[in-house]
Structure 1
Amino acid sequence: MTDKQVLPKVTKITAQKRQGRYNVFLDDHYAFPISEDVMIKFRIFKGMEIDDQLQAKILAADDVSKAYTRALAFLSGHLRTEKEIKQKLQENEIPETTIEATLKKLRGLNLVNDLQYAGSYVRTMARTSDKGPIVIRRNLRAKGVLENDIDEGLREYPEEQQVENGVEIAEKLSHRYRRDPVSKMKQKVRQGLMTKGFSGDVITQILAKTHFEMNPELEDEKLQNEFTKVWHRNRRYPFMQRKLRTKRTLYSKGFQSDDINRLLDQQVDSQ
């Protein structure tokens, strides 16, 4: 008759200094550490027999528990995407199988949800930043959010709000470019809005509602100052070439052709 195999028994369970962590002893020898939730899940108690297979399951569950604790610390006070959590756990050299099990647990508890994240992120960006939907979409892609979830999240930033925010941004930009001719100012504001992620149609609506200060005296002063500099810079050219070059430069800067011609007509060939 074959003797029954004697399995290791839990002889002692002691608490670690870290709250919620315990040390398990088998046959009076330290065997492995364990978290409280895993201890409860596997109903580990003094006198319990634990074979190699069960110990492997316990240790795998404890790995998930530790990764879960790290993930909760990373989530503390902030929503995160699955990709962000995965990257954080990878930085701690946690195995991929443990990371996937951890993410599954987080999903089950609704502690990670990329669709909810997208909606929250869009609302926050629309309220606190100067970024339009195109940049917001790019940011969400970088965070690993899927296109369908991004599309749904961007519903939180309706076109009317984009225009309202855009007008405020456009007026700030126009103030920055106030030394430029109005036409050039509008061009730079349009480019600025495109860079910030607003679409062409929305930008057209924004510009139509933006007040661009048009002071004729100030416009004349801008032109006169710029004309003086450009005319002087072109002094080495023959008179007609000098006029042509000056006109081309000023026109590219956004000044009106008639206004440029008016100043050019006042010039006399001094050669």
Structure 2
Amino acid sequence: MYTVVKTIPKGSRIQITLDNGISFILYKGEVRRYKISENATIDEKSYNEIWEILYKRARERALYILDDGYKTKKQIYDKLKSGNYPEDIIQSVISYLLEYNLIDDLRYAGLYIEYKSESKSKRQIVQDLMTKGIKKDVIDKAFEESDYTDEHSLNKILEKRIKRYNLEEPKELQKLYRYLVGKGYNYNDVKSAVRQYSHDTDMSL
């Protein structure tokens, strides 16, 4: 048996808190069906039925989120958490998604590295992926399995941006250096790449 200690209206739904500290949200019709009110008790059968409702709803929500694009485990967790789903419901849904390979942080990291390989440094990509909740060892493995190099990425950015700068002017040259170093590239690598790019350009004229 569980006792309802608090109910808070939230539009067409109601947030319910039980005496075991668990909180969840049901629609008003569901609240009426299970005769939920403050200080009322919920028996084991009703509790299990409610949990099944919440699980199916959370799973549908997760699948809907994935329709919008591939997501990390943390992104799914955060979305469901913001929907006030209980922790064990969220973990059950994540287990389901993992079982059917609907989320895979290693695959996500690999796709992200490939997508950003011509616009971001390794340092930036690592920071981005960690922000998305992917563990460092998973990121490292994704890089090992990729063809990514900072040299290739740096050269691609130079191809797009170098014409904006007058490399004969020291201030312009330093401005370009600052921009590239700010993107996470090593300063010596930047100097070398700019020098090589300028040389190749001159040779082609």
User: Are 2:161 and 1:173 equivalent residues in the alignment?
Assistant: yes
Aligned to 2:198, what secondary structure does the other structure show? coil
Match of residue 158 from structure 1: 148
Equivalent runs, 1:16-31 vs 2, <5 Å: 31=33
User: Are 2:66 and 1:75 equivalent residues in the alignment?
Assistant: yes
- What is the aligned residue count? 161
User: Amino acid of the residue matched to residue 123 of structure 1?
Assistant: E
**1:186–1:132 Cα change, 3 Å:** same
Q: Deviations over 1:146-192 (max 9, x none)?
A: 00011122232532xx32332232244332222x6443333222221
Question: Is the Cα–Cα contact under 8 Å of residues 181 and 187 in structure 2 kept in the other structure?
Answer: yes
**Which of 99, 112, 136 pairs up with 1:147?**
136
**1:201–1:54 Cα change, 3 Å:** farther
Q: Distance in 2 between matches of 1:138 and 1:73?
A: 27
User: Are 2:101 and 1:110 equivalent residues in the alignment?
Assistant: yes
Q: Distance in 2 between matches of 1:186 and 1:157?
A: 29
**1:133–1:185 Cα change, 3 Å:** same
Match of residue 59 from structure 1: 50
Question: Is the Cα–Cα contact under 8 Å of residues 120 and 153 in structure 2 kept in the other structure?
Answer: no
Q: Where does the alignment leave 5 or more consecutive residues of structure 1 unmatched?
A: 1-29, 33-51, 215-271
**1:153–1:199 Cα change, 3 Å:** farther
Larger radius of gyration between Structure 1 and Structure 2: 1
Match of residue 176 from structure 2: 189
Question: Is the Cα–Cα contact under 8 Å of residues 118 and 153 in structure 1 kept in the other structure?
Answer: yes
Q: Distance in 2 between matches of 1:68 and 1:96?
A: 13
Match of residue 122 from structure 2: 133
Equivalent runs, 1:255-266 vs 2, <5 Å: none
User: Are 2:110 and 1:123 equivalent residues in the alignment?
Assistant: no
**1:193–1:157 Cα change, 3 Å:** farther
Q: Distance in 2 between matches of 1:171 and 1:158?
A: 17
Aligned CA RMSD, in angstroms, stands at 2.5
Question: Is the Cα–Cα contact under 8 Å of residues 67 and 102 in structure 1 kept in the other structure?
Answer: yes
Question: Is the Cα–Cα contact under 8 Å of residues 114 and 148 in structure 2 kept in the other structure?
Answer: no
Aligned to 1:107, what secondary structure does the other structure show? helix
Alpha-carbon distance, 1:91 to partner: 2.0
Equivalent runs, 1:180-259 vs 2, <5 Å: 181-200=168-187, 202-211=189-198
Normalised TM-score (structure 2): 0.68
User: Amino acid of the residue matched to residue 193 of structure 1?
Assistant: L
Q: Deviations over 1:52-110 (max 9, x none)?
A: 53443232122111101000110114111111111111222212221112111111111
Normalised TM-score (structure 1): 0.53
Q: Distance in 2 between matches of 1:139 and 1:193?
A: 17
User: Amino acid of the residue matched to residue 70 of structure 1?
Assistant: R
User: Amino acid of the residue matched to residue 197 of structure 2?
Assistant: T
Q: Distance in 1 between matches of 2:65 and 2:189?
A: 37
Q: Distance in 1 between matches of 2:196 and 2:141?
A: 28
Q: Distance in 2 between matches of 1:198 and 1:171?
A: 15
Alpha-carbon distance, 1:206 to partner: 2.0
